[in-house]
Every structure is written in C-alpha cells, then in structure tokens.
Structure 1
C-alpha cells in the first residue's frame, strides 16, 4: 500500500469481481486511519424539498469509545470488514501474468487507486462500519490493516438497500429502517421488510403532504432536529396502517389487490386515511395536534385504538358513500364518551392520563371505542 501525489490518492492491492446486475465489487486492506479519508458518512436527513438524504444513524459515542478502548490495548485481532459504496471514480488496473493452475476465475487481482477528496466530496460512503471507522480514525495505531469490501455504485437507492440488508440482523432502530424502506424501489425485500414498506410509504405521504390532516405531526428520524411541531410517533402510524391492511375487513385491505403499483392501490389507501383522520381532527379539535402528555388522542395508544375504530366504521358503511361527512357523522356518535384530555373513561373507570402505551391499555381503549360505537343510540 502506498501514497501518491502529496496524499491525493491511495494505491492498494485488491481483488475485483462482479455481483448482482453487473456491479463491480472490490476486496482489499487499507490502513484503519485512512477509511475516513476516502469515505464519507451519509447520515439520514431531509432536504429543503423534503427528499430523504443519506441512510446512516447518528454516531453512538459510547459504542465508538468501546471500540477505541479495545483497539488501544495493543496487538489485537480486528478482522471485521468495513463495507463501502464507491464512486466509479476509483480506478482498477489488473495485474499482468498467467493465471495459476486450477484458478476458478472468481476474481482477478490488481491495484486499486482511490482518490482523496475533502469531506462531503469523497469517492466512497460507509454502508456498514460507521462506528468502527470513526474509532479507527481516533486510535493510537492508525496503521492497523483493516479489511474492506467496496461495491461501485453512485445510486443512493442501491446504497440504502445494502445498508438495510447488512443491518437487518443487527439491533438497527426499527424507525430508521421504516423510513428508509419507501426509498428502496426495485429491491427484492425479505417478507418481513416488504410488509412494512407500504405502511411506511403512506406514513411519509401523511407527514409530507400539505393537504394531509397529519402534515408535519408525525415524528420521523430524519426530521427530529428540525420539526418541533411533530407529536405522533411514526411507529404508531405505521402499525395502525399495517393492522388495517392485515385485517380482512380493514378499511385499507380492499385496496391490496386493486390495480396499482405492485398490486397495491396506494392512492386509494391514502384517500381513506386522509378522509378518516380529517374527520377525527374536526370532531376532536381540542385534542388534536397536542403533545401526547396533554392529549391521549395523539398518544400511540390513541392512534392505534382509533385505527381499529376506522376499520369498524368503514365495515359498517360498506356500500354507502363513505365521504368525509359520513365518517364525521359516525365519529360524532362516540365523541361525548371520549376523554382524550380530561376526565375519566366511564366504561373502564380510568382517568384519561393513566392510559399508557401497553398491550393491556391499547386493548382496553379499543374495546371502549368499539363498545361505544356499536351501542344503539337511545
């Protein structure tokens, strides 16, 4: 491994092969301290136009410190590979010479030249190994050889796909995966991730569309530093949508086999969600948009319970014009019995602020809303 042109590039021995749809993949070793010189960390955030940028979680200081403490012990084994997404700007030159007898030609050897640019403009991005790379850049021994696997792609979508799949078996925050999933078009996802993609995409639409009743009210990881008005946890909204999709009588399940993207009518689902939650907002204006500590309607328990009620209302109105006025009229039947911001829920004798985000309380609140809704009006 050697440096060239006043540290403007790194030249290393590497192996080159191909995977997937013609993607070039390299395997090589590099000094641990050089990883952050050639690769940027693409942290998740939203642009001014609300587009999702990046994919990494923020630095975990305790994790980085733990890795540094281990590495600073001296002669340690550190075989964990860093995974990089690399720009086509890197240059590979195959080695000359005859192939060894019995070579299966899985990969070819050569030299890889990696240019060094300023932060933010580097030719690689860290897909897996963010914390390790930061730790390696701060330890005493900057020259420790570290294994790296790099695939060449400028596509942020391909990078996100690899990030999700690499971290699927690790304790990656569920909310981070949920927000990244809608941005992975064309990716063949494992079944458990695929079932979360449509709900997360609808959650994005509800939060970013100015005509949505939930516009900027949903907490997403990419917006946590910039959006002080958000009060609803995205996990609750996504779970509410998934529950309705998975319920054969759910308000959203009817759109699963309709003509649309991948057999899913997103527009139909979004229309139902906007209609229903607009009616909820207007029937309970005093409880809408408040901190969950001041309104259990905005609490995860309230969102999930009202989602169950949504399914029951749409099932009852099946075959009827299910417009905003119809939904609002149905919700007004339960409004006098609801205790979102004060008082006690009569049927369960529970003060409004003692409703918590537990399976027991979620079930209790769902039952109260359904019993109230199905009780004949006297």
Structure 2
C-alpha cells in the first residue's frame, strides 16, 4: 500500500536546534486528518493523559458562522505538536535561507483510515480547529506553526505557556502543573507544589479526600461524588505554605527542597481528624454541608495552622498519636459548628447562607480560630 503523505511548502525557523519549528499552511479540511485533540483524562490507575479542556460549543459555533460568511480573513493560526516522523527537505540554492529561516518542503504521513490516530496534536487553537473541520470552506488556507515534540511533557509545557493571555480554567492548569518538569513562570511555579499535594490527596488510599476532589479530569459519572472543588483546597494549602502557616517549616528556602512526604502526612492527619470529628458533614454535597463548600475548606484550612502547631509539638506527623491529638483539638470547636443545619449565632447567619467569598471566609475562619483559642484557655 502506498503511504499517504501530505507535502506542504514550509519555513523551518532556526530557533531551537533541539526542537525543529516549522511554519506552513494547511487547508481547513486537512486539519482534522493531521491533528487530534489531547483531551485531559485519567486512567484507572490515576495516570494523567492529555491537556486540553472540553469543547466550547458556543465558541465553536461563532467561529464557524464567521468562516461560512463572505469575505473571510482568518489570520488566527494553530500550533501543532508534530511527530518525529515528519520530514523536511530544504530547497537548494543560495537563497534558501536568510539565517533566520530555511524554505523547503514538509512531509507529514497521514493515517490510513479516519479512525486511526492522527500524527499531530493541537497545542493551541482547539476551538478554531473544530470550527475549521466543519466549515463549508474546506479549502481555506490556514496558517500553522508546528514544533516537533512527541514528549507529552513538552506539549503540556507549551500548552500552559501559550494560554496565558486568555486564561485557562484554573482547575485545568493546576492539574497539569505536576506533570510539567521544565522551568515555569514564577506565578505557575508557586502553584505547582499545592497542585501536586491535591492530586495525591485525591488519589491516595489513605487520604480522607480520595475520590472527593473535583478536577478537570474527573469524568461525568464521578462528578456527583467529587464534592470538593480542587481550587479551594489548593488555596488552603497555598496559605499554609506561607511563613505563618503550619507547612512552611518543611520548605528549605536555602536549597529549594521541600519535605513533600511530611507535608502530605500533616494534611492527611489533620483532614482525617476533620472527617472523624464531623462525619455527618463529610463527603456530601456542598449544598448539604458547608464543610465541603469552599468557605468550609478555606476556613478549616486556616484553623489547621493553629491546630497542627499544637499537634506537631507532641506527636510525629502521620502517627496514630497525631491523629488522636488532632481530634482532641478539633473537639474544642465541634459544639460550635453548624455545617449542615441551624445558624451560626455568633455570625447571625444560617448555615447555608455562608458563601465562598473573601468576607465570609475571613469571618468564619476568624470565628473558628477565636473559639479554638478560647476553648483551649478554658480547658487549661
């Protein structure tokens, strides 16, 4: 059988000698044959695949309506990750290069059937590519930039970088960060450790949060049981990693290392104690329990910094003694909490009117911390 090869005139951009970069054009109808969308998902073992968010149908519809209109100008290009099997044949002659780019022909082997895997992946322009695949202008030339990288880590790294102007959904970014091992911008780098920890809490068998965290890869039939939004827990961990937090001492600022295993043990110790202290409020929908709501996770996260300071002074992280001590500390506030019914009398607020806003998070966390210290003083 003769191999089906797509040949296009292209410029090879002399940018990174280790990662070939090409600029070329494809017809709108060819994009679906060349490139696929790497949807974010996890397998049964919890391994993360892909990086792309779901299709935005309204956005695709708007692009398609424009493409099917008159006098179309579509300068918005696509970025593709190309396979190592592509071949570039530079043109001969003294004028084939100017030192910045080289003109030639790019050859891309196409799949033998529509159901076979495409050779390339779309790194940027997913919604545009879906519209282009459906337009009646199947011959419309579309600008493409393609870099050769079959390594999924390189693709994810570029995906995060090119989507900084139009921000990606927060839960998609935070779930991808642990899988990127190249140097990241400062803002993204600060979120990587909390994201690693939240992924572990959602996957590990000994975690009270196992299967309860709603992430970008959470499949539809699991979303009803994934009652905790990952961004709430990530924000709580971020705060605790700051100088005033219980997790900060486990970051070595002099050499940049982190005692991740110890931090994980602290989180599991504390949140397991929370689960055991409030069993009726744990693992249910935020509409039925404000403990599982963003306001509850964030407020209890701030209380953790006070509770675990006390616990870690007398017990090792992850030990049965630490778990029992954490439960004893939380028992001091338990009678004053109204996660599933009643009112918070000190706040003059019904339980289900607390919202995930800075004001409510601050008010509730201050109340819990005040009650905790007052109860400890009285107990002494």
Q: TM-score range by the shorter chain?
A: over 0.9
User: Matches of 2:144 and 2:304 in 1, distance apart?
Assistant: 50
Return 5+ residue gaps in structure 1 as ranges: none
> Are 1:368 and 2:362 counterparts?
no
Q: For the structure 1 residues 320 and 152, does the alpha-carbon distance in structure 2 shift closer, same or farther, using more than 3 Å as the test? A: same
Residue equivalent to 1:377: 378
Residue equivalent to 2:346: 347
SS, match of residue 252 in structure 2: coil
Q: 2:101 aligns with which of 107, 115, 132?
A: 107
Residue equivalent to 2:52: 56
CA contact (8 A) 2:203 2:210 kept: yes
User: Matches of 2:162 and 2:120 in 1, distance apart?
Assistant: 17
Which digits, 9 at most, give the CA deviation of each residue in 1:221-241, with x for residues without a partner? 101414232100001010000
Residue equivalent to 1:97: 93
Which digits, 9 at most, give the CA deviation of each residue in 1:123-157, with x for residues without a partner? 10000011111111111211111110000011011
User: Matches of 1:303 and 1:284 in 2, distance apart?
Assistant: 13
- Per-residue deviation, 1:18: 4.4
Q: For the structure 1 residues 326 and 165, does the alpha-carbon distance in structure 2 shift closer, same or farther, using more than 3 Å as the test? A: same
User: Matches of 1:30 and 1:344 in 2, distance apart?
Assistant: 62
More displaced 10-residue stretch of structure 1: 110-119 or 194-203: 110-119
Residue equivalent to 1:169: 165
- Per-residue deviation, 1:317: 4.5
TM score, norm. by length of structure 2: 0.93
More displaced 10-residue stretch of structure 1: 18-27 or 169-178: 18-27
Residue equivalent to 1:334: 333
> Are 1:250 and 2:245 counterparts?
yes
- Per-residue deviation, 1:320: 2.6
Aligned residues: 369
SS, match of residue 291 in structure 1: coil
CA contact (8 A) 1:207 1:217 kept: yes
CA contact (8 A) 2:273 2:323 kept: yes
Counterpart mapping for 1:3-14 below 5 A: 8-14=4-10
CA contact (8 A) 2:201 2:208 kept: yes
- Per-residue deviation, 1:259: 9.5
Counterpart mapping for 1:213-224 below 5 A: 213-224=208-219
CA contact (8 A) 2:12 2:20 kept: yes
CA contact (8 A) 1:258 1:265 kept: no
CA RMSD, Structure 1 to Structure 2 (Å): 1.9
Q: 1:306 aligns with which of 273, 276, 300?
A: 300
SS, match of residue 71 in structure 2: coil
CA contact (8 A) 2:14 2:99 kept: no
Residue equivalent to 1:204: 199
SS, match of residue 143 in structure 2: strand
More displaced 10-residue stretch of structure 1: 301-310 or 18-27: 18-27
Return 5+ residue gaps in structure 2 as ranges: 317-321
- Per-residue deviation, 1:113: 1.0
Residue equivalent to 1:324: 323
Residue equivalent to 2:110: 116
Which digits, 9 at most, give the CA deviation of each residue in 1:168-202, with x for residues without a partner? 111321111111111101x1111111111110110
User: Matches of 2:53 and 2:126 in 1, distance apart?
Assistant: 9
Q: For the structure 1 residues 120 and 275, does the alpha-carbon distance in structure 2 shift closer, same or farther, using more than 3 Å as the test? A: farther
